[in-house]
Each structure stands twice: as structure tokens, then as C-alpha cells.
Amino acid sequence: MAFELKNGTGFIFKNKNKTANIHPEYKGEFKTPNGELLTISLWVKDGDNGKFFSASIQEPYRKESEKPKPQKEYNAEPDDLPF
């Protein structure tokens, strides 16, 4: 049985794929109270008052091949039909 997030919950793990300084130290997912799945990215920063997290929340990344293709709409009027 696969793990499934409940609405209003999430998780964050250390980013094992970090290869550059611009990549986040931690990544995870969050499911909003209305059921939308979002991606969370965290960076560890140094500030005047010590270390803190800088966060970014966005829609999950999908490859072009995974994105839904727009459907063409055709609204034919009876006079437009060839028969």
C-alpha cells in the first residue's frame, strides 16, 4: 500500500540530488486543505539573528511529455456543415 498524504499535511526530506548551491537543501510535498498537491523547497540561510529557512512552494514539476495536451474545440453551426 502506497503512502498517501491527508489534506493539510506534508513531508520534507534532505535533497540527495543537490549538485549546485542554488538547489534547495530540503525538498518535500504538501497537500493543501482542498487537496491540491504542492512542492516545498527549503534553503538554509545565515542572517543577523542566526540560521533560518528560506522556503518556496510551487506546483509539482511535470515533464512536457506528462503535461495534458490542449484539446481543439470546434463549434460547428448547422450552416457550416458540408452536407
With respect to residue 55, please indicate whether it lies within any of the assigned structural domains: yes
Q: Give the pLDDT confidence score for residue 3 in this predicted structure.
A: 77
With respect to residue 3, please indicate whether it lies within any of the assigned structural domains: no
Other beta carbons within 10 Å of 5: 13
With respect to residue 20, please indicate whether it lies within any of the assigned structural domains: yes
The domain of 24 spans 9-60
Q: Give the pLDDT confidence score for residue 7 in this predicted structure.
A: 95
With respect to residue 43, please indicate whether it lies within any of the assigned structural domains: yes
Distance CA 35, CA 6 (A): 8
With respect to residue 35, please indicate whether it lies within any of the assigned structural domains: yes
Average pLDDT for the chain: 85
Residue 66 pLDDT class (50, 70, 90 cuts): low
How many domains are there within the chain?
A: 1
At 6-44, the pLDDT tens digits run: 999 999 999 999 999 899 999 999 999 999 999 999 999
Cell matching residue 83: 452536407
Handedness of CA 17, 3, 41, 61 (dihedral sign): positive
